[in-house]
Each structure stands twice: as C-alpha cells, then as structure tokens.
C-alpha cells in the first residue's frame, strides 16, 4: 500500500488528525489516511451528511456545542436528541 494510505483507526487516533467537518456537513480529509478512509468507507454519503447537518442545526438551536468527533459520539448525540425533544 502506498505510504500513508490506510484506514484511520478511530479507537487509536483523533478524528481531527485526519478530518475536519465542513460547514456543509461533509468530512474533509486532512491526511492520506483520512482521504483513503473517506473514499473507501464513503463517509460523505448523502444520508450521513444530512445527519451531521441535522445534529449541527439542533446544537445551534439549543445553544449547545456541536458534536466533538474526537470523543465518543453516543452521549453527545443523546444530549442533542433530548434537547430537540424538549424544544418540540
């Protein structure tokens, strides 16, 4: 495999070392490993981008921080879901 082109291991590596989230909800690779993983795993499929956009919109409307993809997402997303339900 060409140097640097490999899968990112999210259990061992920070998200921000390989990607940043664009304002459009797409994950932009910032490393060769990020580029390889994003392409092979299709991390910017439309439904995934839509989910990230919705999470950002909920966070903004609830005055909460956006999801920090360097940390486990489950509790962060649950907090946003509860905030969305409370806002209904």
Give the pLDDT confidence of 37-77 residue by residue, as tens digits.
999 999 999 999 999 999 999 999 999 999 999 999 999 99
**pLDDT for 1:** 62
Domain ranges of the chain: 15-86
Name the 3-class secondary structure at 87. Answer: coil
pLDDT at res. 44: 98
């Amino acid at each position: 495999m060409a140097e640097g082109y490999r899968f990112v291991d999210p259990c061992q590596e920070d998200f921000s070392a390989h990607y940043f989230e664009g304002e459009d909800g797409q994950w932009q690779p910032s490393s060769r490993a990020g580029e390889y993983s994003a392409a092979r795993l299709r991390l910017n499929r439309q439904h995934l981008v839509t989910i990230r956009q919705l999470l950002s919109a909920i966070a903004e409307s609830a005055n909460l921080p956006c999801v920090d993809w360097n940390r486990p997402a489950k509790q962060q997303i649950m907090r946003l879901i509860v905030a969305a339900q409370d806002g209904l």
